[in-house]
Structure 1
């Protein structure tokens, strides 16, 4: 064979062979013959692709819920006990929370302390709307943390609750109602956080620090979250007895008409009858 013819044969063979890396076959593998040990569906068909089964974790106990960290030495409870409640988590007008709950639900002391004020009379009238009377029946507790807690719109106050009585957290102080300016609404608890003041400063006891952060914690979070730092900081900033700035005045009353004075009675001058003495006559 000529050299040219040999070169052409080699070139043709090289072009017809599949490309690839030297020593690595690029041809598809030939089918493997089935053996008796190979699983089949009906004994004749080849099995389809198989996949690894999902890993199932072994059964175990429920996760352990770790207690929240203790952030103060005080322990608190939610101020309404044994009832379903809802409340706003934002300020509407005043720094307080309206805790909606059924009539008769228990209002309890949120922390250990002393009863500060008790009002068992519902003095509020829509005609006057006096600020001091808007919470209706209420009880305030001065906690061991130095914070004053108010529960208002109460239906009743427990007979044993009096000013100066020591109470523990969870002690029932009264029952939820809608006295005061809540008489046209559903029953609820007016809950407020402030600091102790003389009785005349009613606008302070009705709320100075937003309470919902602490309500959330006491309900299902951290029972040791205390409003004490926030109360002390605000008191230092505004003073112990700041003036009223929101919803201060009641309704102005029309002046009462003055009674018409009675006309003065004119007295007639007295009649003076002159007194005369007749001379005695001599006898005959």
Structure 2
């Protein structure tokens, strides 16, 4: 706001200026651009100072002893998990990932990316199963070994997340190991029946008691809407849909 103009030939009365100074100072403050005055938060962070009238401090600090250290960002729950649930992330850390909302003969998704890109944990959880050897052969039974190198993770949300066709499983990723959302589990590859195309087969399913079948582990829900959310920084959670599916189907004993 422009400063009030005073005529060069008129000498102001100093008592009047002293009374008007707080009013003029308040008139030089403005809200952040794009925020209506009636909606601006009434905090010092919503006020900008002009060049000729800095904003005075709200209160003088009162010495009460040694200053307490500020908590680190990692100590805040919001730094690791969004409000209302566990943090979920997109399972392939790369900028050139493609996938389709549908898949072959059962619900799952193929995440197409360059071989060697990182396959990561969708959420915090515990590793369930790991395959570090590609036992797939076209002459053998189709199904049990189709995934080649793979990792399945039981998330703390109760959902199993499965990724296969990996080129490598990361060192230290073994059954029973705890992992965090975004931690590398392996790398995109073309093992198993990937048909020489670099991608990760991604499946969502419920864990069943004991060693259940590959026909459940490979996926029972369509993942695309969850992937869309995670890719955009959202946190859509599949747990409710997984529970509903298991209530309806149980744990099928065969494909």
Unaligned runs of 5+ in 1: 1-59, 62-69, 246-284
1:216 to 201, 204, 228: 228
Tell me the alpha carbon deviations over residues 214-244 of structure 1, each in whole angstroms, 9 at most, x when there is no partner.
Answer: 000000152x2100000000000011x2133
Moved >3 Å (runs of 4+): none
Tell me the alpha carbon deviations over residues 39-83 of structure 1, each in whole angstroms, 9 at most, x when there is no partner.
Answer: xxxxxxxxxxxxxxxxxxxxx67xxxxxxxx78412100000134
Could you tell me the TM-score, scaled by structure 1's length? 0.59
CA distance in 1, matches of 2:252, 2:84: 28
Counterpart in the other structure of 1:244: 254
1:101 to 102, 108, 113: 113
The Cα RMSD (Å) is 1.8
Alignment of 1:104-119 (within 5 A): 104-119=116-131
Alignment of 1:254-273 (within 5 A): none
1:97–1:212 Cα contact (<8 Å) kept = yes
Report how many residues are paired.
176
Counterpart in the other structure of 2:207: 196
- By how many angstroms is 1:84 displaced? 1.1
Unaligned runs of 5+ in 2: 1-32, 35-81
2:89–2:233 Cα contact (<8 Å) kept = no
Alignment of 1:1-16 (within 5 A): none
Alignment of 1:1-284 (within 5 A): 72-182=84-194, 184-197=195-208, 198-222=210-234, 224-239=235-250, 241-245=251-255
Could you tell me the TM-score, scaled by structure 2's length? 0.65
